[in-house]
Each structure stands twice: as C-alpha cells, then as structure tokens.
Amino acid sequence: MSGRIRPKAVLLFALALVLAHPAFAQSHQRKHPHELAPVSGMVCIPGGYYRPFYIVKGIDSVWISTYHMDARAVTNGEFLEFVKTNPKWSRSRVSPMLAEKGYLKAWQSDFEIGNNALVNAPVVNVSWFAARAYAAWCHKHLPTVAQWEYAASAPIVEPVRATARAKQSLILAWYSKPMAKTLAPAGTVNENAFGLRDMFGQVWEWTDDFSSVIVPGDARGTSGGPAVCGAGAIGSIDPTDYATFMRFAMRSSLKANYVVDDLGFRCVK
Amino acid sequence: MRIRPHLKYTVLAALLLNFAACSKNKSDLSTITGVRDAELTDAPLVPKQVKTDGPQKVIVHLEVQEVVKQITNGTYYTFWTFGGNVPGKFIRVMEGDEVEIHLTNPSSSKMPHSIDLHAVSGPGGGAEASYTAPGHSSVFTFRALNPGLYVYHCAAAPVGLHIANGMYGLIYVESREHPLPPVDHEFYLMQGELYTVGKYADTGLQEFSIQNAIDEKPTYVVFNGAVGSTLGPKALNVKTGETVRLFVGNGGPNLTSSFHVIGEIFDNLYNQGGTDVIHNVATTSIPPGGATIVEFKVREPGIYHIVDHAIFRAFNQGAVADIVATGNLDSTVYSPHPEKGQ
C-alpha cells in the first residue's frame, strides 16, 4: 500500500473542515500556526475546529492546534527498544499498579519478542502508563481524545475511497468481526486523507485523556454518561454514528493499568 | 422494685411486638440460608425448579462470547452472546435469593460488555457495575425481590447494536408463596430481530445494517437466534395429554411480538411475565425487553407452529418454531371429516 501523503487531499479536507463550520467567520481571522517542521514517521495534522462527539456544557467545538501524529501504530519492535533502555518497563519488573497481568504477554520474554511476525505488528497489551512512558521517552505525548478523533475524521482513501457512511460501515464491519488471530504489520491498513494508517481496522488505541468521558451512573437515565446506554445518544452530535459510539464505549471501559489484546497506541508531538 | 400491673402489660406488649417483628423479618427473607451455583441452560431447555426453605446466595457465571453462527443455511453472522448461544443462558432463582453475577469478557472480545437484568432493583439493573473491558471480569450482587420472568441484556453503548447482535436472555424469579405447579414440559424461547445489509437468505457472513435497525426493518425475525432453530429434528417433542409451559421472552430490539401457538389456547398466561394469571388467551403481546409464561395442554397429535402472528414475520422472516405432538387422536375434541367434504 502506498505510504505517500496526499498534500492536495489533506489541504482540501482541512479547508472543508474549516469552511463547514459555522464559526468560520471568526475562525478565518484566527492566526493559524505555521506548518510545523516535518518529523520522521509522523504526519502533520493541520489545525482546525473539532466538534466533540459528546457536547459538554454547551462547548460545541474546540480549536485544535496543528500537531504531528505517528503515521501508524507503535510496533512491538519499537516498544522493545524502549523496554531495553528502560528495564523497569520489562514484563517481570513492571509494577501491577502500572500494568496488570498480561502486559506484553505475546512476547517470549522480558527482552525478546520471539516471533518475527510480531516485530512490525502494532504493540498491544500495553497499559496507559506504559504507553505514556514510551511517548515521554520519544519526547512525544499520547493524543488527546479530541486530537485522535479529529485526525480520524478524515475520509479513508486507501485501499478504497470511503467517506462518511461508507467509512462508518467499513469500521463497523471490523468492530463486529471476531479479533484477528494475528495482526497485520503496522502501517498497512486503511490510510486516511491525512496520510494516517491503522486508525481503523487494526487495533483500538489509547488516548491521553481516555477517562475524561466516563460512565458516572446509570447512563440511560438523567444522571447518565454516554457509555452504557440507550439514551446515551442524548448529547452526542450524531446518534447514528455507531462506530464512534463504540470507540467511546471502549475507552470508558478501561482503567489505566489495563492491558487488552487489541489495544495499542500511537503518539503525537 | 415493684412493677405496677399496667407496666407489666406494657412489657408483655413490647415483647409480643418484638416477636412479631422477628417473624416479619423472616417473611422479609432477609436471612441467607445457604449458597448454591445456579443451573444455567441453553434454549430450549429450562433449569429445574429449585425449592429451598430460605433465601440462598446464588452464584451465576456468565461468559460473553463473540461467535460466528449460522442464521440460516449458508448465512452467517457474528453474534455477541451470553454463554455462546442466542438467547443467553436461562437463569432460575427463588424470590429473596441473593444473586451474585460474575461477568467475564474474554480477551478475544473486541468490545466492552455489561449486563442489565430487569429482575434487579437498582440503577442500571447492574449495567454499570458489570461494565467490563475485553480480558476482564466483574462481579455484583442483587436481591431478587420481585417474582416473575425478566429479560436481561447487554447495555454497553451502542446498546441497540449489542441487543441486535444477540445479547439477551431470561431470568426467572420463582415466587416462594406460589411456586409454579408441576407440568410435563418446560421450554425456553426468545424472539429477536437481525438487521443485515444483505437480503433474507443471502449467503456468506452478513454485516449489521445500522440503517435497517434505525428504520426498524429487520431482515430476520427469529426464535432462539436462527431460522429453523426449533424446527424439524430440533422441534419441541411432546405427547398428547401432556402439559407444556413456555417461558417466552422478546429480545427485540425493536418489534413487539404477537405471540401465538397455532391450534392452541393458553389455559394459563402469566400476564407480562408477572404473577397475575389470566386464562383462555390465544395471542398475547410481548414487547421488546418483555416476557411472558404460557401453559397449555396438548390434546391432539400433530405439528403446532409457534409464531409471531404479525404473520409475514413468520412466513418471510423466520419467526416459526414447532411443537410436535405424538399420540392418539381424541375425536371428541377435534375431528377432520374428509369424506363429508366436496
């Protein structure tokens, strides 16, 4: 699959995002940060307005400044380098407070992956603490939910062009299939117009503030948050966007020391 | 100190009141008298009736399984299930039991799951307490206060999708005062809809259609998770003269069932799955998330079709299950007279 970034598509999409927004009248006067210097392996995501899926206290859009995002999910091979440099994050030495049982369970041992097929596949079974430590080690961060969702909102361009509804069906089809026995190499699945790959169809991904959308009570009632509910649709911008519902539901089921078989991450800068 | 007579009576009255309060506590079923593991069954089987002197702690282990199963010949779907089948395991407890639900979501799952039991008195019916990420498990307890037949289902967002994918089942809370009388057969049936992108009987793995679900236009309406789940060799077998009790639920997610057994009249119907019994009903409504119990005596040999009497669903979408009765014809009840026809 092509790893080429399509500047034209990115530009058009960014323009569409800005133009589509009712706040355009203000936004075009806003000072756009200059294009950031290129970073290897990362894609520049031009700033713009993001409409949160769940509208909180009447804030129906937030400004996202230009940032870089890893073009694909972090791999086992990359994570191994981090663990070698930071042995306190090895399987036998990590505290269960920071990563529960099952952390890096597909690896052969503390410092060996032991399976060539895994080296370039997305790393999974890593806790939020571990993903964050990795990001810090690379002088990066985990994306916020807003950054992740904003980056994911671009249409898919490879292997098939899929906008809005078609993209949603493609994502839902993945969510509703049993988990793949082996993951494809990172960077080979569903490229979007920003040039990001693996956002859908590979693994779930940690976000820095995953717990900010949480289930406070019976989520179908008036006290409700979004994740456990029929009436959870109240407050979300598009109650038919089931693919997005599922990502929010997944995030709110997690705790920071959890590890999950198909949960990985990527970084931003 | 000398006790004055009226004080004596006061003390006596207080003691009596105290005694009355104690015995009232007993009928409140507040004391747990034992522990047992719940017998769990897959449809069409129902767990045996349990009779205990007092309330017990009942342990229920449910494991979520995301599995590919057949809807009809050559047509497959990824079902999300409580225990590997649609509907989920039948749970049977007694009024006053303290039910401890263990929900396991295996690491092979893609989605978080939960369980909301309509038999629970408490926020969310347990959904929040049981909200479980893949590779994790959760535990909560509830007291089965109200006797009756109740639906349970997954309540993780988007809840409609989890139900449409098969995450529903039944729990029966048996009344201590009026436990169900013995019958010859008890069966478990649940109606549910499937919304696919492909048309009815299209072959291959079918995808969920959000649009059809929102439009409430199912591709399939089935009993026990598949077209023909309870037909032919899998039909429910009885003998003439036997009594049958059906525990029927409707998982939905959208359609109300007009539940009917062709050629039978329900002698007893536990209205809406509660404790009020009405008699002589032929067709009854079961809303999505609702349940009912019907009892009848099979008098004549032959095939009895169980249908949703919104009849296109039976003939074109799969909503048929069969009871096959063997035995002798009782001509005082029913007689075909082909010789008198023209």
One DSSP character per residue, A64-87 reads E--EEEESSPPBHHHHHHHHHH-G
Nearest to A136 by CA among A260, A46, A265: A265
A248: its two tokens? 């929010």
CB contact under 8 A, B114 and A228: yes
A105, closest residue in chain B (CA to CA): B107
Whether the pLDDT of residue B298 is over 70: the answer is yes
Q: Which residues of chain A neighbour B68 with C-beta distances below 8 Å? A: 178
**pLDDT over 90 for what percent of chain B?**
82
Please check whether residue A181 touches B, CB under 8 A.
no
Predicted local confidence at residue A180, as pLDDT: 75
Contact B327, B304 (CB under 8 A): no
The DSSP output letter for A88 is G
CB contact under 8 A, A262 and B110: yes
Whether the pLDDT of residue B23 is over 50: the answer is no
Task: Output the CA–CA distances (angstroms, integers) from residue B104 to B101, B134, B180, B224, in the order listed.
Answer: 10, 8, 31, 22
Map tokens 């994570």 to a residue.
A79
Domain ranges in chain A are: 38-264
Closest partner residue to A261 (CB to CB) among B68, B108, B112 is B108
CB contact under 8 A, A177 and B78: yes
Q: Which residues of chain A have pLDDT under 50?
A: 1-3, 18-34, 215-234
Please check whether residue A81 touches B, CB under 8 A.
no
Report the CATH fold assignment for A38-264: paralog of FGE (formylglycine-generating enzyme) (3.90.1580)
User: What pTM does this model have?
Assistant: 0.84
Task: Give pLDDT tens digits for B84-119.
Answer: 999 999 999 999 999 999 999 999 898 999 999 999
Predicted local confidence at residue A181, as pLDDT: 76
Nearest chain A CA: its distance from B241 CA (Å): 45
Pairwise pLDDT comparison (B3 vs B321), residue with the higher score:
B321
Distance CA B83, CA B193 (A): 19
Work out the average pLDDT over B275-294: 98
CB contact under 8 A, A230 and B160: yes
What interface predicted TM-score (ipTM) does this complex get? 0.79
Contact A143, A208 (CB under 8 A): yes
Contact B194, B215 (CB under 8 A): no
